[in-house]
Every structure is written in C-alpha cells, then in structure tokens.
Structure 1
Amino acid sequence: MATLFRWLSRWPLWLLHALGGALGWLSYALSPSYRRRFKANAAQAGVSRPAFRAAVAEAGRLITELPALWMRPESQPLAGRARWQGAELIAAAHARGDGILFLTPHMGCFEVAAQLYAEDYASRHGPITVMYRPARKPWLQDLVATSRERTGLAAAPATLAGVRQLIRALRRGEAVGLLPDQVPPDEMGVWAPFFGRDAYTMTLAARLAREPGVTPLLTRAERLPHGRGYVVHLAPFDEPLPAGAAQAESAAAVNRAMERVIRTCPQQYLWGYDRYKSPRSTAAGHNKD
C-alpha cells in the first residue's frame, strides 16, 4: 500500500480528484450499508439534492488526495496550493500568548489545515498537535503514523495519554487540532443533539475550549474545484460553554457550532461517516432515535 501511495503522490492534484470523484460514486453504488447511512445522515440534516450528489464525489476525493498530502516531500511546501481565510485570528491568539484549538468537522481536506499551520507558524510558535484514532490494521498503522509525523506537526492518539498530550501543548501556548464530530471511545462522551438526533459526542472539545489561555477556532479546509488547491476558513467559536459539570450542554454547544460550519459547505461533509453509532457497551441501553 505504501508503494501505491508513493506512486499516486506523483499524480497532479486535479487527476487525483478526478479519480476520487469516480471512487466516491463507485463506493456509493457498491455498498448498500454505506449508501443507506449516507442518505439517512444527509436527510437528517436537510441537505439539498445538488449538495448531496456533490458530497458523494467529494467523499472519494478525500481518499485519493491523501497520497499527495501524506507522501509530499517537505521540500515541496503548500504555499501556492493552500491559503488561509481568517489568518488574523491566529495572529491575535499568538499576540495574546494563547494556545489555539482548531475545531473542524469531517469535511473538506482537514489534513491540509494542520500541515499548513505547521509550515506557516510552527517555527515561531511551536508545533501543532493533532488527535487521531490509530488504524486497526497493522500495515495502515505504520503508514498513518509515519505520514502524519512531519516537521512542526505531532500526532496524539485518541487515548487518555493523547488527551494529556493535547493539554500540555495548549498550556505551552501551542496549537492543537481536533475533530469534535468523531465518535469518542466509551465513557469519553455524552449524548447530545447533532442535526436534531442524539449522537454520542466527545466532551474533550468543550473541556479544552474552556482551558484558561486557549482560543478555540472553527475551522474548515475547503477543497477547490479542478485541483486548484485549498482554502482554510477560520471563524471564532462564539457558543457559550456552561461551566462546571454540565457536560451534555457543553457537548450540545459544540455540536451546534459544528452544524454551522457544515451548513456553509454541506457538499464537502463526510455524510457517510457513522456519526450516530453507539459505543459497544452503551448500544443496548440508549435509544438514539
């Protein structure tokens, strides 16, 4: 697989995206379970038919662009292929000496946001640490781990040790990247509405956002058409987060913020992601409908 990724990484981005569009529709056609989940999740959010059809292809592009990002030599910077919209929010946070918490849903090319930050800011403000869930297959574990560990970019596993790693980075005034719509491990989340349906939601995002000296930013990396690159959009996180032990209310506030981000570009959200699944030990004890 690593050999295949290295070969694909030499392709131009427009060709990888063309291949990805076809892959997206092929996956949708061949997998009944994926197709049902895709339709149900998009319908739950009220996605229009044009955005729905575009999202099928965009899901494939998310996969085929990975070789270009993971195998990209560090001698080939993203400058010219990716840019910020809202970079003044980063500058303001750094001026205050704050740590930055980038919160992005499963949409667009979320991989590129961390890489762009690492290139533009890590040499002056320290690395960005991103949380990821280790792959189950051993061959993929090595590929993901080595591909995401780049200069100025550190990876933290979705474990308690990884959580501590994120907190330490923020307290040093560094940046952290997190996908709040990722289903957390059992006992690390609460049930909260997401597009009108209860979803098991991590409590970590709200916990980190409430840390003193942390600036949370809503983030999405838009994939431009025809392989023209990416724009990373930033916005303030302006949802009030209840203090104390109101975890469900805080998780709901984070979900509302994610919904607003997704609605700005629903055609690039990963509607096939199993957002409403249950951790195994709670599956029998909670009715999600």
Structure 2
Amino acid sequence: MVGRLPLKWSRHLGRCAGGLAVLFRTEGLRLSRINLRLCYPAMDAGKREQLARESVVSTAMTGCEMASLWHHSWAVNKNTILGVRNLQLLSQGNEDGRGTLVLMPHTGNWEIFGIFLASLRPSMALYAPPKIAALDSIIRTGREQTGAQMVPTNVHGVRALLKCLKAGHIAMVLPDQEPDMGGDFAPFFGRPALTMTLAHNLLKRTQCHCVFGFGMRVEAGFELVFLPAEKAIYSDEQKVSLAAMNRGVEACIAAAPEQYQWEYKRFRKQPQGKSTVYRKKQ
C-alpha cells in the first residue's frame, strides 16, 4: 500500500512515523544515542541528541521510500535521481576491463543507488530473503528492475560475485554490518568493530577497482554520490585493508551523518567478548 504512493507522500508518511518513534522514545532512538556518543564523544550533547532524532526520522523515511522504489518501475524511479556526483570514479574501474566493487554503507537510500548501478552495467548483489515470505517477490522484483542479479548470502553467492568481478561487471556490497561469513576487528570511529572480510577477499582475488557510494536524500529526490577508496584498501594485509574500508564508510557518513542508520548495534561484539554497551540499565 505504501509502495503505491508517490515518493513525496511515502517520504511524508515516513517522516510522521519517525516523529512518533522519537516522541515515544523507541529502541531505535536509544541505540542511536549510544552509537553517536561512542562515535562522536567530543560533539556537543545537544547537537548529538538532535542528530539522533534526525537519524530515527531518516530511517523511517528510508523504509517508506523503499516501498515506493520497489513498487514503481525504472521509468518512474529514474526521475527521482536529481544528480550524480563523481560518476567518473565508476568508469575508471572499467577502462581496462576490470570489475568494480561498489561499497554502499547504510546512508541515505541504498536501494535507489543499486537500481541505478544496474542500469549502467551488469550488476550483482548478495540477497537474503526477508523473514516475511510475502515480501520476497516484491523486494526481488524491485531490486532487479534494471537487471541486477541477486545471489544468496552463502559460499555459492560469493563465488558468483567473484565471477561477476572477473567478467568486468559491478558487485555491490553493504560493508558496515557485522558479517555472517568471515570477519575481523578494525577501527571504526576509533573503536574496534567486527568488520567483514568479504570485500578484502574480493579485491585480493580479482584485482578489481573499488569505490564507495550512497543515495543522499535531497529535496524532491536523491543525489547519488560516489567517493574514492583509499589505496590502502587494496593492501594484501587484511587489517590494513579493513581499516581503510571503515574509513571509507566514515567518509560517506560525514557527507550526511543525519541520514546514516545509527540504530544498528555496530559495537555489539568486541575483541574481549560481547559488549555490554547496548544493555538496558535496570
């Protein structure tokens, strides 16, 4: 039902839902406050609180936007893209036939970014079916509307990503959540965070190009932003590569910190064991 709404109205609905989430002090707001305190300890407390509230609203807006983007066709969705910044970074990776690994943090709206990428070159991404089975066909159809191929989040999916990159195509990976397959600790905003090793392994085995990107919410639509990856991300040393990847995520966040999904328990696991930082006080 939400998907049938134009983007303008789905955003308005999300803004209202996010406002209620702030008003009723939901779990998302509590977690956002904790993560922002950990990541921006020197920030003024009032500014940090405002950022936490804006993030909760932004996350609700993203959810409603996704429904609209999945439901509407590319002919409609492409009109929501009002600008693309640094697109030349994407083409650099294909000049010599190499594939391109695009790292897309949970900033703004990553759905529109992925749909756009697949409209340019053959693209592939890992996909885990939602817990609500009825949503599977809706999400899959929406994400594949420009030709992107969804592969499972297992060994078979990783092999498919390797073949995709070796063929000179685009592989899309969300790099800023705790990994299900393969991880190591690397600094994220100066704190140890369990970080996926998938991107490092793909870079090492395919010699592909790497770039960061996200769909930033702007008035009446989106601006798609590409940012360069540090040279260190190509290092054979895993810890060096992972640290560079996390700095790339930080650079994306810095462009629109209020649009980042701060509700995620990024520091739940620590080198010494499970962290208690997210535990509710009795």
Q: What TM-score bracket applies, with the shorter chain setting the length? A: 0.7 to 0.9
Question: Would the alpha carbon gap of residues 284 and 193 (structure 1) be closer, same or farther in structure 2, given more than 3 Å must change?
Answer: closer
Contact kept? 2:73, 2:145, Cα under 8 Å = no
Contact kept? 1:19, 1:64, Cα under 8 Å = yes
* Cα separation, 1, equivalents of 2:18 and 2:201: 35
* Cα separation, 1, equivalents of 2:234 and 2:116: 32
SS of the equivalent of 2:232 reads: coil
Please list, as runs of the form range in 1=range in 2, the aligned pairs for 1:189-200 lying within 5 A after superposition.
Answer: 189-200=183-194
**Equivalent in the alignment of 2:3:** 9
Could you give the per-residue CA deviations for residues 215-260 of structure 1, whole angstroms, max 9, x where no partner exists? 10111210113xx11111112111413744x433322221121112
Question: Would the alpha carbon gap of residues 77 and 16 (structure 1) be closer, same or farther in structure 2, given more than 3 Å must change?
Answer: closer
Could you give the per-residue CA deviations for residues 99-148 of structure 1, whole angstroms, max 9, x where no partner exists? 111112111011111111222x13xxxx2112233322323334333332
Contact kept? 1:93, 1:99, Cα under 8 Å = yes
**Equivalent in the alignment of 1:85:** 85
Of the three residues 177, 180, 196, the one matched with 2:172 is 177
- TM-score w.r.t. the length of structure 1 is 0.84
Unmatched runs of 5 consecutive residues or more in structure 1? none
**Equivalent in the alignment of 2:223:** 231
Task: Percent identity, please.
Answer: 29
Unmatched runs of 5 consecutive residues or more in structure 2? 278-282
Counterpart of 2:221 in structure 1: which amino acid?
G
Question: Would the alpha carbon gap of residues 10 and 95 (structure 1) be closer, same or farther in structure 2, given more than 3 Å must change?
Answer: same
1:203 and 2:194 aligned: no
1:31 deviates by 5.7
* Cα separation, 2, equivalents of 1:172 and 1:145: 23
Contact kept? 2:32, 2:55, Cα under 8 Å = no
How many residues in Structure 1 have an aligned counterpart in Structure 2?
Answer: 271
Contact kept? 1:221, 1:230, Cα under 8 Å = yes
Contact kept? 2:162, 2:206, Cα under 8 Å = no
Moved more, 215-224 or 72-81: 72-81
* Cα separation, 2, equivalents of 1:273 and 1:128: 27
**RMSD (Å) for aligned C-alpha atoms:** 2.5
* Cα separation, 2, equivalents of 1:34 and 1:108: 16
Moved more, 130-139 or 250-259: 130-139
* Cα separation, 2, equivalents of 1:145 and 1:12: 20
SS of the equivalent of 2:94 reads: helix
Contact kept? 1:23, 1:57, Cα under 8 Å = yes
- TM-score w.r.t. the length of structure 2 is 0.86
1:286 deviates by 4.8
**Equivalent in the alignment of 2:150:** 155
